[in-house]
Amino acid sequence: MSIKPKCDKCNKELEEFGGILLSPPDNDRRVIKYHLCINCYKKVEELLISRQKLETKK
Per-residue pLDDT of the chain (58 residues; tens, 9 = 90+): 477 889 999 999 998 888 999 999 999 999 999 999 999 999 999 998 887 666 676 6
Q: What is the pTM of this model?
A: 0.75
What pLDDT sits at residue 1? 46
Distance between CA atoms of 19 and 36, rounded to whole angstroms? 5
- Is the distance from CB of 32 to CB of 9 less than 8 angstroms? no
Q: Where are the domains of the chain?
A: 1-58
Q: Which residues pair with 19 in a beta bridge?
A: 36
